[in-house]
Chains A and B, each alone.
Chain A
Amino acid sequence: MSNRRFAITAFVVAIALIGASLAIENAYFFTAAYGVLVFVILATAWNILGGYTGYVNFGTPAFFAIGAYTTVFLYNAFQAPLIVDIVCGTAVAGLAGLAVGYLTLRLRGVFFAIATLALAVVMLTFVVNWEYVGGARGAYVITRGDAPFGFASWKHYLYVVIAVLATVAIVVARLLERSKIGRGLAAIRDDELAAECAGVPTLRLKLLSAATSCGLMGMAGTTYPYFYAYTEPLSIFSLSYAVNAIAMPMIGGMTSWVGPLIGALLLGTLQQLVQVTIASDLNLLITGLLLVLFVTLAPNGILGWFDAWKRRRKR
């Protein structure tokens, strides 16, 4: 399928699903679905650098926070409309990814991973000490009046927005994957020196991949302050984002855009169910156990397992 056809199909499917789901009366559905869709974006974004290019990012919360706090800042400063928050948050996170990449991606190996881990700590300290965006107390972003475009509530509206953003993330990921750039990224993942010797501009592609990946992570955070109304550092810099962004693609499969989507839907939904029925503290435990299970039993994720099954059947 060509990329344009894919994009059109993706948006049609998304609109149909969103339209159908708006009929659901249970208000909690929208909170749960919002949470899952955020993970769809984070997992898809992480996979662009982690899965396609082979560079691990431990700092998902840092980039997610850049998105969220850009919104808080713009709200405090200008009461900026949501679309401005989304565009700016994505851009700032993308630039941050580019900067970290420029400093560390020139070297092969673990330097980028270490730097992203450090960035999460630096960003947390920075936010906690920045009074303008609420510091350690946190900040309120209050939605006033009726929801725009005739939606029943702001929750409904923001749920639709995040669903559209998730579709954008998936389309971008697939666009990169099935293009000349995608082949270059895969070559870098397999052998960087050989890639360079095949004419691939490895540094440029790594930076592009880092900027896109981190930008999309930022995008995932931009609606957070509106949706939860209260934004505070400890929940934004939650370990859950860092772990799940890695676990979901690994469980789903890292070679294609489908993997993170499957992983996020599966793990995200499971976590929401557990949160309601048992206890929210169990979420990371479940992620951890599943991750260990998959790494040992199906290291290429659900996709890899499915491929192997298809090959066996053919014989």
Chain B
Amino acid sequence: MAGVLLQASGVTKHFGGFYALDKVDLEVREGERLGLIGPNGSGKTTLVNCITGTLRHDEGTVRFNGHDISRLATHGRIRLGLARSFQIPKPFASMSVVDNLRVPLLYAASAHAGAAKVSEARSREEAMVILREVGLEEKAEERSGGLTQVDMRKLELARAMASRPKLLISDEAMAGLSSSEVDDIITLLLKMKDRGVAVIMIEHIMRAVMRFSERVAVLDAGKKIADGSPQEVVANPDVQRAYLGE
């Protein structure tokens, strides 16, 4: 069994009296594919924000790859090997597609322990390799602000991959996409497995979650209500209640 990569224990985040996360535990093993689901407003994105450091959690600890990262700034966590894509794409709009990838290549990929330094010239080659993989090769020189929605989602994933993460968190990369586009993205995420990258996939599209995940965790109103194999979770009465009501 592979070692534990991410260990969030007792993570609590409240905004005033509202508890967005209430003592949530979450573990991800090296190379594991985890689906994270839950109704709207259940705290999925808040949990991601607490893991990546965009928000500071109020209680609990987050350990990643053996380090306690609870007090680390976001860029420090990214440099340790965390990466995320955003629900609403946030491209570096003034840059070309390939330059978008050069930022994490220069700032994050080089920072990993033992990683070779990426030079300006090498960063271009490496960026092109990743773009080829996600199928954005022909748009490399286009301005990223003018991409279509699907391409922007792919760019989000490509940019996250460019930081050479050990754990990639994909936050609703497929919302609003057509069925064949969803398959494209799933294929991309499945490829991460070959690179030994663990993935947390946040998604509402159950078809994608069931196909992709080895394990599924369910959040409801800031609490984790289920954690297990996809089949177990779908059969869980608490989960059915959370989604369908009594």
Contacts and interface: CB of A to CB of B under 8 A. Distances in A.
Interface in A172-226: 180, 183-184, 186-187, 189-191, 193-203
Contacts of A255: 94
A202 B92 contact: no
B12 interface: no
Contacts of B79: 199
Contacts of A189: 94
Contacts of B187: none
B118 to A, nearest CB: 10
Given A183-B103, A183-B106, A198 B163 contact: yes
A187 B92 contact: yes
Contacts of B83: 197
A197 B78 contact: yes
Nearest to A202: B75
Size category of the A interface is 20 to 34
Contacts of A200: 75, 103, 107
A186 B99 CA distance: 10
B73 A201 contact: yes
B107 A199 contact: yes
A189 B103 CA distance: 13
B75 A194 contact: no
Contacts of B95: 186-187, 190
Contacts, number: 76
B84 A197 contact: yes
A194 B94 contact: no
Contact of B107 (A186, A190, A198): A198
Nearest to B101: A198
A186 B94 contact: yes
B71 interface: no
Given A180-B120, A190-B94, A198 B104 contact: yes
A134 B166 CA distance: 62
B92 A199 contact: no
Contacts of B42: none
A200 B111 CA distance: 11
B132 interface: no
Nearest to A180: B106
B175 to A, nearest CB: 18
Nearest to A198: B104
Interface in B85-111: 86, 90-95, 99, 102-104, 106-109, 111
B74 interface: yes
A184 B107 contact: yes
A201 B78 CA distance: 10
Given A190-B92, A255-B94, A198 B99 contact: no
Contacts of A190: 91-95
Nearest to A194: B90
24 contacts: A180-B106, A180-B107, A187-B92, A187-B103, A190-B91, A190-B95, A191-B91, A191-B92, A191-B93, A193-B86, A193-B90, A194-B90, A197-B74, A198-B78, A198-B108, A198-B159, A198-B162, A198-B163, A199-B78, A199-B79, A199-B104, A199-B111, A203-B73, A255-B94
